[in-house]
Amino acid sequence: MSAPLLIRNARLIDPSDGSDAVGDLLIKDGVIARRGSANGSVPDGTRVVDGTGMVVAPGFIDLHAHLREPGGEDKETIATGTAAGARGGFTTLCCMPNTTPTIDSATVVEFIARQAADAGSIRVLPFGAVSRGRSGVELTDMEELARAGAVGFTDDGNPVATGHLMQMALLYAGQLGLPVMDHCEDHSITRAHSTGSGQGLGVNEGWVASRLGLAGYPSAAEESIVARDIALLELAGGALHIAHLSTAGGIAHVRRAKERGLRVTAEATPHHLTMTEAWVLGAHGRGSPDEALGAASYETRAKVSPPLRAETDRQALVEALADGTVDAVATDHAPHTFADKAVPFDEATVGLSVLETALGSLMGLVHGGALDLPTLVQRLTAGPASVLGERYADLATLRKGTPADVVLFDPDESWVVDAASFASKGKNTPLDGETLVGRVKLTVAGGEIAFDGLAS
């Protein structure tokens, strides 16, 4: 058990009660022991941290991370992924079931719990697969998975393959009180132009794709499955969660469904909120049709599914995050090896390593005036907790007596991304070398120090 920790004179933002005030926070015996007042005794051996100018919030909750274990340990392990999460201010990671073997049995859920316990860092909550082997045919044993610790179901990486399977999943998971998360991609559109590489499309349909001679991934491929799923939610009930929403059209479907009172939630990633398709041209997001391509073009580190979209989509996504149509920021952290990305674009795997840059990227929206800080904190904490359900509400509060999952960050610290120094095995980010403003300084999970960046 760590020594008691007192953070003094920090801006305490607690989305569970809407409070936002400068004060102190005392952590002792794994729980939040005192908050707000500068009075009261300080226990012997307490570590005192000056939080002046910094923010204290509940630890961030990521609904969507690929930790790759079991089966993809060259890309990431639960130990390296949770270390990366802690450096990013996260105290809970929901890991995706596209592992080998798939998270489609209690055995794999239990294996993940054991690896997470051995890593001893932050909390890992697995999503189970919707279908056995994520093959889109038979439902998994959802009740058994839930009993073992699965917090929801998804075939992420793939969409839930058919409308019928989605309907059955919503009915069955709905009775268990768990959400069905969908990666909304109409394969009949995105797989029509096969590149023969076995990898998915990773660039938005539009002038950038066309300029590069790459098959484009149209917005319609997302929008049509979002619309399908919402129609099925209305039919079957249950709870639907839209993964990594990326299009203005998809946002409009979700907004209308929420207005009609349907139980749909949605997440957006830091990269879709802050970057556009132009990043695939290289040159860190700059570039116009009048400019020649160069050796930095075909930036495989910006290849992701769904792809980085047009600026109009990005703006719509930021608005949706601000107005609550998007409930949560989720990273879709997708670590890959150097060899996975050091290939021609069509052959590259999809995904970015995100956990360690998420806050710095998102603070750009706050510094740019597009979002206020308490809203951002809500979307990183109480927002995702609400997707998981009432029993996880205590993960997103600074209330006295709750488990001490806490992050301390400096909203104004400027730093340069150095992917080589990531705790994650995945160095695959186009942000390498970029300057971000906003940096995690301390992460406390269950009262234990999971990351300490105050010395550096």
Partner 1 sequence: MTTRAPVEAAPGTSVAPRRHVLDLDDFSASEIHVLLDSAEAMREVLGRSIKKVPSLRGKVVVTLFLEPSTRTRVSFEQAGKMLSADVINVGETGSSAEKGESLLNTALTLQAMRADLIVLRHPHSGAPYFLARHLTSTAVVNAGDGMHAHPTQALLDLMTMRRHLGSLEGAKVVIVGDVLHSRVARSNAFGLAASGASVVLCGPPTMMPLDLLRPGGTPSLPNVTLEPDLDAAIEDADVVMTLRLQAERQAAGMLPSLREYTRRWQVNEARMSRAKPGALLMHPGPMNEGVEIASSLAHGGSSQIEEQVTNGVALRMALLYQLLTGTEERP
Q: Which residues form the interface with partner 1 (CB under 8 A)?
A: 192-193, 195-197, 205-216, 218, 289-290, 292-298, 339, 342-347
Q: Toward partner 1, which CB reaches closer, 278 or 355? A: 278
Smallest distance, partner 1 to C-beta of residue 432, A: 14
Q: Toward partner 1, which CB reaches closer, 185 or 205? A: 205
Smallest distance, partner 1 to C-beta of residue 214, A: 5
Give the catalytic positions in this structure: 332
Smallest distance, partner 1 to C-beta of residue 292, A: 4
Smallest distance, partner 1 to C-beta of residue 245, A: 22
Q: What's the per-residue H, E or C state across the chain?
A: CCCCEEEEEEEEEECCCCEEEEEEEEEECCEEEEEECCCCCCCCCCEEEECCCCEEEECEEEEEECCCCCCCCCCCCHHHHHHHHHHCCEEEEEECCCCCCCCCCHHHHHHHHHHHHHHCCCEEEECECCEHHHCCCCECCHHHHHHHCCCCEECCCCCCCCHHHHHHHHHHHHHHCCCEEECCCCHHHHCCCCCCCCCCCCCECCHHHHHHCCCCECHHHHHHHHHHHHHHHHHHCCCEEECCCCCHHHHHHHHHHHHCCCCEEEEECHHHHHCCHHHHHCHHHCCCCCCCCCCCCCCHHHCCCCCCCCHHHHHHHHHHHHHCCCCEECCCECCCCHHHHCCCHHHCCCCECCCCCHHHHHHHHHHCCCCCHHHHHHHHCHHHHHHHCHHHHHHHCCCCCCECCEEEEEEEEEEECCHHHCCCCCCCCCCCCCEEEEEEEEEEECCEEEEECCCC
Q: Toward partner 1, which CB reaches closer, 31 or 189? A: 189
The Cα 100–Cα 105 span in angstroms is 12
Residue position matching structure tokens 């990898």: 199
Q: Toward partner 1, which CB reaches closer, 218 or 306? A: 218
Q: Toward partner 1, which CB reaches closer, 52 or 194? A: 194
Q: Toward partner 1, which CB reaches closer, 213 or 401? A: 213
Q: Toward partner 1, which CB reaches closer, 91 or 204? A: 204
Smallest distance, partner 1 to C-beta of residue 250, A: 19
Residue position matching structure tokens 């019928």: 164
Residues 6+ apart with CB under 8 A from 153: 127, 128, 129, 130, 140, 142, 145, 169, 173, 178, 179, 180, 181
At 396, list the tokens.
């997103």
Q: Is 386 exposed, middle or buried (0-12, 13-18, 19+ CB in 10 A)?
A: middle
Q: Toward partner 1, which CB reaches closer, 135 or 210? A: 210
Smallest distance, partner 1 to C-beta of residue 216, A: 7
* Residue at 398: amino acid letter: L
Residues 6+ apart with CB under 8 A from 449: 2, 5, 442, 443
Smallest distance, partner 1 to C-beta of residue 30, A: 48
The Cα 189–Cα 217 span in angstroms is 8
Q: Toward partner 1, which CB reaches closer, 71 or 344? A: 344
